Amino acid sequence: MEEKKRIERLIEGVKRELSGFNMPYVTEVSEKSRDPFRVLVSCLLSLRTKDEVTAPASERLFKRGATPEALCALPLKTIERLIYPVGFYRVKARNIKAVCRELIERYDSKVPDRVEELLKLRGVGRKTATLVVSMGYGRPAICVDTHVHRITNRWGVVSTSTPHKTELSLYRVVPERYWIELNTLLVAFGQNVCKPISPHCSICGIQRYCRRIGVGKSR
């Protein structure tokens, strides 16, 4: 099968597989608010933290302030208390406070819409930056986290050693119409079907298009 067609069938198949599954919390934030600042803060909170913890922590924080000015005005201890028990909550509280200050002082309280500028903000890595650009601003960008990196290598779509190399490779092979939604699809797919250890290959509807690179044990 032509590789382009195989990639399209993999992605379209994932869409069908995920009907009924919950989408990542940051995706819900972007769809409900269309606010790059909320997407940015939610993404910072979600790092190394499960959605069931991130979601209520984000909502508690946004009730106290949903703008850089409002959150910057909160005492650090208050931010810590509101976002607990997200992972590394003290570090994240400091980063959120610093990011809000940077947005106010350097960007007129507006979240940058380019990856290069977002990477200048404290605590913002490439995953967060591309997610803000794609989910917050609706601009074509591929956000690569551990799920996207693992699954696209498992599919044999790319053969890369780091998420950044995966991102660069995916831009060359994935049709642009899928760029924004790819992270949402593969995070949900990776959490429910294509798990890191012993994926559920026996119930996967796209198994015939997957090369199962690196898969030893499966269910």
- The confidence score (pLDDT) of residue 210 equals 97
pTM above 0.85, yes or no: yes
Q: What is the CA radius of gyration of the chain?
A: 18
- The confidence score (pLDDT) of residue 122 equals 96
- The confidence score (pLDDT) of residue 217 equals 86
Residue ranges in the chain whose pLDDT is less than 50: none
Cβ atoms within 10 Å, residue 160: 17
Residues above pLDDT 90, as percent of the chain: 95
- The confidence score (pLDDT) of residue 110 equals 98
- The confidence score (pLDDT) of residue 212 equals 96
In a domain, 56, yes or no: yes
CATH number of the domain to which 10 belongs: 1.10.1670.10
Q: Could you tell me if 29 and 39 are in contact, meaning their C-beta atoms sit under 8 angstroms apart?
A: yes
Closest CA relative to residue 194, chosen from 8, 13, 9: 13
In a domain, 219, yes or no: no
Give how many domains the chain has, as a whole number: 2
Alpha helices in 84-162 (DSSP H): 89-107, 115-118, 126-131, 137, 146-155
- The confidence score (pLDDT) of residue 91 equals 98
Q: Each residue of 133-148: pLDDT tens digit?
A: 999 999 999 999 999 9
Residues 71 and 166 in one domain: no
Residues 35 and 123 in one domain: yes
Coil, strand, or helix at residue 21? coil
Domain that holds residue 59: 25-137
In a domain, 218, yes or no: no
Residues 33 and 16 in one domain: no
- The confidence score (pLDDT) of residue 18 equals 87
Closest CA relative to residue 124, chosen from 149, 107, 147: 107
